[in-house]
Amino acid sequence: MRIMFGIGFALLLAGAAAAQPLVPPSYTQAQAARGEQAYMSNCASCHGDKLDNGGGDGAPNLVGPAFSQGWGAKPLSELYDYTSANMPASSPASLSPQVYADIVAFLLSKNGVTAGTAELPPDDDRLKSMSGPH
């Protein structure tokens, strides 16, 4: 009986490892504050200083349901990778991985994700296990 219980438990662990549910992202308030500064210098000219495009010149909103529904359903690595590779649109991939992670932390803070005690890592593999903003 004890052995059967042990086998069952091992199968349960194996199942959990295979399914890999996304965990909520973690970032700190200090990191989001750094990200806000980097956002204002590098992104606000197109996306607006309230992330709502400031009235519209073709750059999409980075807050609100359309943004969080689109990116929230995917691993956070997708938002990080997209932003790192394509933004700022005027000068793609021109910032450091750390600055992109800080900016993503700022975007999370503006999309209803609560700050925690661990910084968002500039690490694609770890971001793959985290959920997007939703």
Q: What whole-number distance in Å separates Cα of residue 28 and Cα of residue 12?
A: 33
Q: Which of residues 23-52 bind ligand HEC (CB under 6 A)?
A: 42-43, 45-47
C-alpha to C-alpha distance for 95 and 11, rounded to whole angstroms: 44
Kindly state whether residue 53 participates in binding ligand HEC, applying the rule CB under 6 A: no
Q: Distance between CA 124 and CA 134 in Å, rounded?
A: 19
Query: Residue 22 or 46: which CB sits closer to ligand HEC?
Result: 46
Does residue 15 bind ligand HEC (CB under 6 A)?
A: no
Q: Is 127 in the site for ligand HEC (CB under 6 A)?
A: no
Instruction: Say how far apart CA 104 and CA 83 lie, in whole Å.
Output: 8
Selected from 32, 87, 127, 130, the binder of ligand HEC by CB under 6 A is 87
